[in-house]
Amino acid sequence: MVGVRQFDEDDVIATALDVFWRKGLHDATMQDLAAATGVQRGSLYNAYGDKEAIFLRAFDQYAAQFLESAGNALAHRDTTTALRNFFDMIIVNMTDGSPARGCLTTRTALDAGISSAAVRQRVQDVLGRLEQLIGETLGATPGGRRAADAYRLARVIVTFTRGLAVMERAGYSRKQLKESGATFVDAVVGA
């Protein structure tokens, strides 16, 4: 290696994630990324190819961290506690920052101008793995549900979390989201 890269790639991706999280893939421009990272547009093109490539790296990092947090939150013997933790985590994740950043996965799923198969696939992967995690949690309950029921319910829970992300964008406060989350958990699992 000669003529060495002037910036730390991990830093750039982490900063890019923040930009994409706030603006969305479509609305974040290369100029935004250049300004936020302090790396010139040309260098970014040279290093990564194009905006989508940067997004994919950032999203992968986000997804890994997100799924790990979800897994941790769900790691409780008591299903109700596990789900409460999980919802707390989800809601904090989307209401964090000022102004709040919302949920990147949901924003990306709704981003109109995305035809990229790679991006769609990532979104589906995150949701699928989340479903899996929750399904395992529900099925593993001592004297728990039948597997089919657990996974059907897991999908309902994932769907509800997506709904929370939309409500956050619509202007509902963290407190309101938490109340809905609690009501949901009581209604669905507590019963």
Judged by the rule CB under 8 A, the positions of this chain that interact with its own copies are 23-24, 26-27, 102, 106-107, 109-113, 120, 123-124, 127, 152-153, 155-156, 158-167, 169-171, 176, 179-180, 183-184, 187-188, 191
**SS in 3 state form for the chain?**
CCCCCCCCHHHHHHHHHHHHHHHHHHHCCHHHHHHHHCCCHHHHHHHHCCHHHHHHHHHHHHHHHHHHHHHHHHCCCCHHHHHHHHHHHHHHHHHCCCCCCCCHHHHHHHCCCCCCHHHHHHHHHHHHHHHHHHHHHHHCCCCCCCHHHHHHHHHHHHHHHHHHHHHHHHCCCHHHHHHHHHHHHHHHCCC
Q: Smallest gap, in angstroms, from Cβ of residue 110 to its own copies?
A: 4
Q: Smallest gap, in angstroms, from Cβ of residue 60 to its own copies?
A: 17
Name the binder of 120 from DNA, its own copies, none, CB < 5-8 A by kind. Answer: its own copies
Q: Smallest gap, in angstroms, from Cβ of residue 92 to its own copies?
A: 17
Residues lying near DNA in the complex (CB under 7 A): 1-7, 29-31, 39-43, 45-47, 50-51
Q: Smallest gap, in angstroms, from Cβ of residue 89 to its own copies?
A: 17
